[in-house]
Amino acid sequence: MQTPPQFPARSVLAAFLVALVFHLAVVMALRHFNHPILWENGEIAREMLQGHGYSMDFAGPDAPTTWQAPGYPIELYLFEKAFGERPFTYLLISLVQCVAVSAMVYPVAWLACRWFGTRAAALSAWITAFMPLYAWYCSRIHQPADVMAIYPWLFAGWFYAAESRKSWVAIATGLVTGIGAMFSPTLLAVFGIISFVLLLRGVFTSHWQTARVVFLGGVCTLVAITPWTVRNYEVFGRFIPVKDSFAMEFWKGNNPNSTGTPMVEGGREAMGLPADVRQLYGKAGETQMMDMLGRKAVAYIESDKPAFVRRTLKKIFWLWTATPRALLRNIGESEALKYDWIHSAYWALFALGFIVTLCMGMLRKFEIILSFATAFFVYSMVYGLTVVGQARYRAEIEFLFITTFAAACVALYDVAFRKNRSPQS
C-alpha cells in the first residue's frame, strides 16, 4: 500500500502567520474601514438597528426583504450594535476577516497534499497566502471574504467525512455548509451535488457507513437553513430557501439592454430596473417585483432563443477568462479597472497550470474530477444565466486552481531538473 503524503505542517503554519501579517498590512494600508462601502448589507443592518427588522428600501420604505442572504447583514448588525457605526467597528470586522482568510492555507494545503503530494501542498499554502484578491477582500466590509474563507474548509470537510466515516465530522460539516449558505446560497448547489455523488458512491460500493454519514451531513445542512426558510415563508408566503434576487439578476442578463454585466456599456452606470417594475414601489411586495422581472426575462428569451444561447455561452466564456474592460464597473473606487491586470495575470497562470496538470494526466482522481466538474457546472450555470464582471464571482472557487498550479510547478521543476519522481513523492 502506498504511504500517504505527509502534510507539511510547519510550512503551512509559517504561511498562515505570514498571510496574517500580509492581510493586516493591506487592511491598514487601504484603510477602507474609515469610509466603508456597505452596499445592501449596510442598508439591511441599519434597518435592523432602527427596529424595522430584516428590511430595506426596495419594494417600499422599510419593506421586508430577502434580497440578500442574511449571513453578512446579520454579522454587520451584531458588530454595529455592539460597537457602534464607526471605523473601529469596521476595523474589527476586517481583522476577523484577515484571520479567516489567512486560515485558508490549511484546507487548501490539505486538499493539495491529498491530491498532489507534500511539495504541492506547501507551495499551495504560500500561493494562497499571497493571493491578491484574498488580501483585497479582507479590507472590504462585504461578504466575499467570508465566502472565500469557508469554501475550502467545506471541500475538505465533505471529503474527510466520507473517508473517515465519522459522524461528528459529517454533522459539523453539514451545519457549517448550512451556515455558509446564509452568506452565499451557491454553496448549496455546489455541496448538494458533491454530497449527493458521495452518497451514491457509498451506496453503489456498499460502503454503507460512508453513505450514512454523508446523508447525516446533508440532513444537518437542511436543519441549519430551515429557520431562515421558515422566516421567508412566514413573511412572503412562499418557499424561499435563502434569498429571492435571482430573478432580478436573471433579468439583468436577459433583456434588450443586457451587456453581460450589471453595468451599461462604459461601466459608468449600473443597469436600472424597467419603468413598469419601478412603478410597483410601495404597491407590491418584493417577491411580486421579482416575479415581474423573471417574467420579462423569460419573455425576452422566448423571443429569440438562439440569441439567449449565444449570450449565455459568451458570459460563461468571460467568467472563465476575462470580462471586457469596457463593461467593468468604472464608478466608485473603480477597483475592477484599476486591478484588472493583476487578476487577469494570475488567472492566466492558474489556467495554464490546470492545462499542464490535465495534459500530464494528474487530474484522474475521483475527488479532483468531482470538485472541478461541480465548480465549473454550478458557476457556469449561475453566472451564464445572470451576469458576470465582478472578480469575486470566480474568486470564490479559484482556490481549486491554486492546487493544480502548485502541482504543475512541482511537476515542471522535476522535468526541468530530470528528477525521477512525481509531485506525490
- Polymer length in residues for the chain: 425
Residue 190 has pLDDT above 90, yes or no: yes
C-alpha pair distances (Å), 193 with each of 54, 177, 198, 326, 346:
30, 13, 9, 35, 28
Q: Which three cell numbers stand for residue 126?
A: 504560500
- Read off the amino acid at residue 198: L
Angle at 25 between CA 21 and CA 27, to 5 degrees: 120
- The fraction of the chain above a pLDDT of 90, given in percent, is 88
C-alpha pair distances (Å), 245 with each of 69, 125, 185, 251, 393:
9, 35, 11, 10, 16
d(CA 242, CA 226): 9
What per-residue confidence (pLDDT) applies to 419?
58
- The fraction of the chain above a pLDDT of 70, given in percent, is 97
What per-residue confidence (pLDDT) applies to 1?
47
Residue 332 has pLDDT above 80, yes or no: no
Q: Which three cell numbers stand for residue 40?
A: 445592501
171 burial type by CB count under 10 A (0-12 exposed, 13-18 middle, 19+ buried): middle
d(CA 101, CA 130): 11
Closest CA to 253 of 197, 293, 194: 293
Instruction: Give tens-digit pLDDT for 194-213.
Output: 999 999 999 999 999 999 99
**DSSP at 263:** B
Residue 23 has pLDDT above 70, yes or no: yes
Cross-strand pairs, 55: 64
Contacts made by residues 331-336, CB under 8 angstroms, sequence distance 24+: 331/267, 331/268, 331/269, 331/270, 332/37, 333/37, 335/136, 336/267, 336/389, 336/390, 336/391
Q: Report which secondary-structure segment, H or E, holds 64.
A: strand 63-64
Instruction: Give tens-digit pLDDT for 357-385.
Output: 999 999 999 999 999 999 999 999 999 99
Global pTM?
Answer: 0.94
> By the 8 A CB rule, do 180 and 187 touch?
yes
Q: Where are the beta strands (DSSP E) in 247-363?
A: none
Closest CA to 189 of 197, 388, 201, 156: 197
d(CA 92, CA 191): 30
Residue 247 has pLDDT above 80, yes or no: yes
Residue 55 has pLDDT above 90, yes or no: yes
What per-residue confidence (pLDDT) applies to 336?
74
